[in-house]
Amino acid sequence: MNTLFAVTLVFVGCCSNVVFLELLVRDFPGCGNIVTFAQFAFIALEGFIFETNFGRKKPQIPLSNYVIMVTMFFTVSVINNYALNFNIAMPLHMIFRSGSLIANMILGIIILKKRYSMSKYLSIVLVSVGIFICTIMSAKQVNVEKGGTEEDGVYAFMHWLLGIAMLTFALLMSARMGIFQETLYKKYGKHSKEALFYNHCLPLPGFLLLSTNIYNHAVLFSQSSPMEVPVIGLSMPVMWFYLLMNVITQYVCIRGVFILTTECASLTVTLVVTLRKFLSLIISILYFQNPFTAWHWVGTAVVFLGTLLYTEVLSSIPAAFKGYKADKKAE
């Protein structure tokens, strides 16, 4: 029952989160900083009340270690959201972030001296090829859509290229953070709720560096057209409503993943998250009519095939089916 509830939270929360994020980004492409700040503030407040009991509970992992992790987490979160300001379409943003497997494997080999099976290396090749196809096709669309003079086209392409560089850096930094987190958990034990709180609370002062951008977008949000909030009946600027719903659905998504990790094997968690990403991508393409060519579909299919191959989901399905039939016969 808990597993079904967690899966529902993941799909409903994460997919809704993508919708509200795209609604925000469509009108204000540079609003990534205020979105990131709102998400961090909400999760930090919830953790302060329910996890640390208003600061009375001491952390199980030393704060000095959290400072290192938080620096990486803050950098990744801000850069990922800010990249949307550089002509990066939401579908490409989602596909690119699915390349975390590549970064994890590369850094695992370099830092942890890990070795993988041939199927793992094949899966990484597939994911790399899929992302490459989608990236190249998106690059062509940037040049076509911007039109204008040749100089404008070059500027638009370089602007987009900077966004791709930001996503690549965030991908590698995220993988490095994952390895650091893995070593911490091995040493001090797994404290996911605690890590979630400190990862979102400690970076809050860092947003002072982005305060001007956040304030400017808060003013712009306040000037957006008013809407009546369903059920409550109160009136508020539509962009603030989108931001509120984005924050709430982000929290629902994170809680769903957390429950899932405590109830299911990591393989199941990876499969659910992968399917969720695919559904979010479909929603982004169909609902918001984002440009997506046949080659984008090919690249997307290759990315998800590589992901499933890496997690060994495909090879485990026949075994699971045999086990299911054996249980039926026993009954």
pLDDT per position as a tens digit, 303-312: 888 877 776 7
> Is residue 296 a part of any domain in this protein?
yes
Assign 92 a pLDDT band (cuts: 50, 70, 90): confident
Specify the pLDDT at position 318.
60
Cβ-based neighbour number of residue 26 at 10 Å: 11
108: Cβ–Cβ under 8 A, 6 or more apart, which residues? 114, 179
Residue percentage of the chain with pLDDT more than 90: 26
pLDDT tens digits for range 24-65: 988 898 898 999 999 999 999 999 999 999 989 999 999 999
Are 173 and 98 within 8 A, CB to CB?
no
DSSP count for the chain of H helices, then E strands:
13, 2
How many domains are contained in the chain? 1
Task: Please check whether residue 131 lies inside any domain of the structure.
Answer: yes
94: pLDDT confidence band, cut at 50, 70 and 90?
Answer: confident
Boundaries of domain holding 63: 1-142+153-328
Please state, in angstroms and rounded to a whole number, the distance separating the CA atoms of residues 52 and 202: 13
Compare 82 and 43 and report the one with higher pLDDT. Answer: 43
Query: In this predicted structure, which of 7-16, 157-166, 312-321 has the lowest mean pLDDT?
Result: 312-321
In a domain, 121, yes or no: yes
138 domain-assigned: yes
Provide the whole-model pTM: 0.76
> Which two tokens mark 223?
């000037």
Tell me, yes or no, whether 82 lies in a domain. yes
148 within some domain: no
Average pLDDT of every residue of the chain: 82
Mean pLDDT comparison of 43-52, 151-160, 265-274, highest-scoring range: 43-52
Spatial separation of the C-alpha atoms in residues 114 and 312, rounded to whole Å: 18
C-beta atoms surrounding 53 within 10 Å: 9
Q: What percent of the chain shows pLDDT beyond 70?
A: 87
Residue 116 lies in a domain: yes
Highest mean pLDDT among 132-141, 228-237, 239-248, 268-277: 239-248
For residue 79, is it within any domain?
yes
